[in-house]
Structure 1
Amino acid sequence: MPPAITRFIRDETGATAVEYGLMVALISTAILVVVTAIGVSMATIYQRIADTISP
């Protein structure tokens, strides 16, 4: 095989970039889920406080 093809087959630089991209996607999805859950909980807490304070 020509050396250029052998070098291309052994090159793992792109694989590393894809792995980092997948990790970033997974972490950002987890953050989005957690922030959404916290937002809903906080809205419920603030609504209870508002209901208690209002006459």
Structure 2
Amino acid sequence: MGEARQTRGLSDAAGRHSAGRLAARSALSRFWRDDSGATAVELGIMVAMVALAVVATMSAFSGGMNKVFDKISTAVTGT
């Protein structure tokens, strides 16, 4: 009798190995290596940080701006 050789997976009718776990493993490794969406995420984070800075600045100066607009309103209605 001949030697028994170890097979990686069951073969289909055409003699190819089945996709099985190897295909899932390669799909997962491709997914983890794919960085095509990273640029969009980084851009979104930067836009959010700029928007947060603008909102913080506007809220910090809103009290002073109200006084300026009140003075302007008083000056315009007084003349």
Q: Same fold (TM over 0.5)?
A: yes
| SS class of match (2:69) | helix
Runs of 4+ in 1 over 6 A off after TM superposition: none
Larger Rg over CA atoms = 2
Matched, 1:21 2:44: yes
| Matched residue count | 53
Alpha-carbon RMSD across the aligned residues, in angstroms, is 2.6
Greater relative contact order (CA < 8 Å, ≥ 6 in sequence):
2
Q: In structure 1, list runs of 5 or more residues that go unmatched.
A: none
How far did residue 36 of structure 1 move? 2.3
Higher helix share: 1
What's the TM-score once normalised by structure 2's chain length? Answer: 0.47
Q: In structure 2, list runs of 5 or more residues that go unmatched.
A: 1-21
